[in-house]
Structure 1
């Protein structure tokens, strides 16, 4: 028969009190560092030693009741592809919030069958963060429960006109045009959940082309395989000599399609990506890209979160981090095009 494990009994404050030979209130005063209490140092050390011996962990529910709020920040994550850039950003946010004693909890919004009200009743977060606006019923339910909520656009230009998404596209286009290309293409992402971001980056490329009096970039899909190869043929027929890809993954699909189609990069077609993932420098040829530090957004976001919790104005205004061009061989041609 398979072995069954029985969950161990949770260590309580009463267990710590018995081990230390003191009252439960004394344990509470010591572990919670309650001000105004005179407790001998020897007693305090005995309580701490007992808690460590028993591996005591305070109840999250009790901690929330004591503080008057939960320490959980619940982010209802859209159905995004969690690539390196998103993962790095989420990790940086989690670390920053931990410094404020807060726990960052990600929950997939679009793929869950669980009703949102059931979720936050069980989790009891201090704050719910969404990318899309909540519907009226969910918003009213959160307000009634006393749970703060905020919408974080994460570069959606309908909310932040000068977003870093457009900036990435502008850096790509400026580089390609400065290296002599006058007819550009744009490789969009096959993931529909990222269309908003892809459109913003495309808009940045379009703005730069318009500023130079050049035609608008020819935007095509670049799904790895047949679609990417078909797009390559269309760009070549339209005399496109350089393509700005939505991100590095899309750019890498183009490099593979170019090899399969006999198109030489960068001599026949220059390709630039975005995000500077680890594989970008290992491709053949190595991929020129735009690097953004995801942690640059964190101070302003954490400031906004703390402002929502404390009902005070944010200390840090939103900022757009500088993008850095990482020049590699996929666009590095010495001969200027005319």
Structure 2
């Protein structure tokens, strides 16, 4: 906290004296008040005075003036915050900043504080939920004037809404790419060994199933694949021993796909000759794998902009569309499939 020379906290009155303007002018300039015709030179003088004194407007005072904070609270499930999720958080931070909002995340990973304590302490303008939570909790937030936007499956004021981001097209694209690159009699799906990822894994699997039906292939054989080579090798053995044998696998993400490549190596086998593998996310290690991993590349920047737009629309009282945020999916084709 900035202090004046006599030890007091620096106030807007100090900035006004330093800049030779009124306190009202300081307030208008630092809070970017609309419809105020203040000369650019005066604005510059105020900003320079505030910078010299180390003064910034009080967030609490700004909340009282505008009737809301500038915080959007992001609720994260108990997911590993790495790779794509980390990138999405950064891009959401940037996307909200373009609207003058601050994005703050809270993970539900144990032993996190209860959600009710978090939002009551922060009083955010809105909550962007990447996880499901009790409707009573959502109603309590709304009663406190907080907008609630469900990014995953959930309901808004009791009306069920689809997720903001659809995962089904990812699985469908994986299956179609495998079949387009080489003949396959049956596909497998490598499910993650983490229950918290079901909201993502299940719709991706549904996409694979739908594509297989459209392509005239039998139901994909689903196996849970932990992130270690021995367990992945067991899954590979089972797929190859199936009737008909599985010749291509759609993995939940690149981490699971890399485990499969390690499992193949453990058995003295190789992709794609013995089993084609395709992942999701195009993480850094995908291109460095042996063989380099074919994967689905997501447009997380478009996802972040779309989510931020839905939150801003809700804050400004505009009707939000029920359809999913649009993103462009593409395959980074390499040697594993």
TM above 0.5, yes or no, is yes
Measured against aligned partners, the alpha-carbon deviations of 1:119-149 in whole angstroms (never above 9, x if no partner) come to 2222120011223444354234323322222
User: In structure 2, what is the Cα distance between the partners aligned to 1:302 and 1:67?
Assistant: 20
Contact 1:303 1:316 (8 Å CA) reproduced? no
Structure 1 gaps of 5+ residues are 1-6, 332-338
Shift of 1:273: 1.0
Q: In the TM superposition, what are the counterparts of 1:170-181 in structure 2 within 5 Å?
A: 170-178=172-180, 179-181=182-184
Residues 1:308 and 2:314 are matched in the alignment: yes
Three-state SS of the structure 2 residue aligned to 1:276 is coil
Aligned with residue 320 of structure 1, among 315, 326, 334: 326
Residues 1:217 and 2:220 are matched in the alignment: yes
Three-state SS of the structure 2 residue aligned to 1:57 is coil
Structure 2 gaps of 5+ residues are 4-8
Taking structure 1 as the reference length, the TM-score comes to 0.85
Matched with 2:16 is 17
Matched with 1:203 is 206
User: In structure 1, what is the Cα distance between the partners aligned to 2:225 and 2:191?
Assistant: 6
Measured against aligned partners, the alpha-carbon deviations of 1:226-283 in whole angstroms (never above 9, x if no partner) come to 2111111111211222211111111101111111111122211111111111111110
Taking structure 2 as the reference length, the TM-score comes to 0.86
- What root-mean-square deviation, in Å, do the aligned CA atoms of Structure 1 and Structure 2 show? 2.8
Q: In the TM superposition, what are the counterparts of 1:25-36 in structure 2 within 5 Å?
A: 25-34=24-33
Shift of 1:315: 7.6
User: In structure 1, what is the Cα distance between the partners aligned to 2:62 and 2:210?
Assistant: 52
Contact 1:306 1:314 (8 Å CA) reproduced? no
Aligned pair in 2 of structure 1 residues 327, 91: CA closer, same or farther (>3 Å)? same
Measured against aligned partners, the alpha-carbon deviations of 1:145-186 in whole angstroms (never above 9, x if no partner) come to 222222122799x95489642111111111222310112211
Measured against aligned partners, the alpha-carbon deviations of 1:288-325 in whole angstroms (never above 9, x if no partner) come to 11112112223432222112111112389634323212
Aligned with residue 168 of structure 1, among 167, 170, 195: 170
User: In structure 2, what is the Cα distance between the partners aligned to 1:202 and 1:227?
Assistant: 20
Residues 1:148 and 2:147 are matched in the alignment: yes
Aligned with residue 187 of structure 1, among 186, 190, 196: 190
Contact 2:293 2:336 (8 Å CA) reproduced? yes
Contact 1:73 1:129 (8 Å CA) reproduced? yes
Residues 1:293 and 2:302 are matched in the alignment: no
The count of residues paired between Structure 1 and Structure 2 equals 324
User: In structure 2, what is the Cα distance between the partners aligned to 1:212 and 1:162?
Assistant: 28
Q: In the TM superposition, what are the counterparts of 1:247-262 in structure 2 within 5 Å?
A: 247-262=253-268
Contact 1:155 1:163 (8 Å CA) reproduced? no
User: In structure 1, what is the Cα distance between the partners aligned to 2:284 and 2:137?
Assistant: 40
